[in-house]
Amino acid sequence: MRQRLRGWLGTALVRETGLTLLAVALAFAVGTLIIWAAGFSISAVFTNLWRGAFGNRISLGQTLTQATPIIFTSLSFLIAFRCGLFNIGAEGQLYVGAMAAAVVGTVLRVPAWLGVPLCLAAGGLAGAFWGWIPGLLKARRGVNEFVTTMMLSYVAIELTNFLVAPRGPLHDRTAWSNQTVRIATTAMLPRIMRPTQVSMALVIAGIAAIVVWYFLFRTPSGYELRSVGQSPAAAEYGGIRTPRKIVLALTLAGFLAGLGGAGEVLGTHYRFIAGFSPGYGWDGIAGGLIARAHPVAAVFAGLLMGALRAGGMQVQRARAAPGDIATVLQGLVIFFIIAPMLIRRLLIWKRRRN
């Protein structure tokens, strides 16, 4: 018994990682079957998938650019998840964060060392506000955060849409598309992999992952937040004020997603563009699950998702298959990550029933 425990503990991390990699491998195997069954060339699809994701500097840049916001939204999802909450609204939090960063970045006339942090803070705080509302509703009134975060997400998307629509207050009159004017040069995040769009936002995402890890596993507050997620009754017993933790978790979730949105504006587009996100917020749910709610793993999950997106585009361009194949693969990865948990649950349930 003792030895078994010790052995198990020593390899918990190894085992979790192994299971995840296995899930990815299985997903690709089943994906291959689907490609074959649909009548596409397996080799053409995978060659293009690889080429689009890592083939050269440009495609690698594409992967990293797409991965950046997904890392943020994955962190957003998992920090709420650790408190036993579902933040389905990262997409909207991303949009309000982007908008706030764009507004501050246009208006401010200060040096870069001050301008960039201010814009990032604005983005984060706007997202945080968007997460704080569902948090408060959940803590005070028990309103299901699943519903409120999702609904507020649509509010955020439509609200920002309105602001940059042709007759909206922030519309750039010189442009045909629905967007704000360009932000000040001093608000821009430096590009780190020219000629691609990869910016310092990627580095910030990495730092954010470490900070989230530190927060969750090395601070009393993170400890409390995890307690509430793992066992609300025991947390209450330990004198932890659950409602506060719920508000905190959703606010932080919003902050992280908002920061991701700010990164998009300050590092990639240099302005707010309506509909700029192809669903990064939703990808964050997948990313958080693939990472098994571990902040450092979320970086890798984000990279995987980014690679699938970038590769999928190349598959489409080369007409090897519809680009949706990337989405299929992504879905399969999630399926195989969650399936073992489900199977284990089912087994336990069956044993109990017997």
Residue among 111 and 220 whose Cβ is closer to another protein? 220
Binding of residue 239 to another protein (CB under 8 A): yes
228-242 burial, b for 16+ CB within 10 Å, e for fewer?
Answer: bbeebeebeeeebeb
CB 138 within 8 A of CB 246: yes
Interacting span for another protein (CB under 8 A) from 15-23, 171-179, 231-239, 304-312: 231-239
* DSSP calls for 128-185: HHHHHHHHHHHHHH---HHHHHHHHHHHHHHHHHHHHSTTSTT--TT-SSSB-PPPPG
Binding of residue 173 to another protein (CB under 8 A): no
Q: Which of 62, 179, 199, 227 contacts another protein by CB under 8 A?
A: 227
Binding of residue 216 to another protein (CB under 8 A): no
Q: Cα–Cα distance between 24 and 314 in angstroms, integer?
A: 20
Interacting span for another protein (CB under 8 A) from 99-107, 189-197, 214-222, 267-275: 214-222
C-alpha closest to that of 64 among 311, 315, 317:
311
Q: Cα–Cα distance between 126 and 263 in angstroms, integer?
A: 13
Residues in 90-129 that interact with another protein by CB under 8 A: none
Interacting span for another protein (CB under 8 A) from 137-145, 227-235, 293-301, 311-319: 227-235
Binding of residue 240 to another protein (CB under 8 A): yes
Residue among 1 and 37 whose Cβ is closer to another protein? 1
Residue among 81 and 280 whose Cβ is closer to another protein? 81
User: Which residues contact another protein by CB under 8 A?
Assistant: 1-6, 8-9, 218-221, 223-224, 226-227, 230-231, 233-241, 351-354
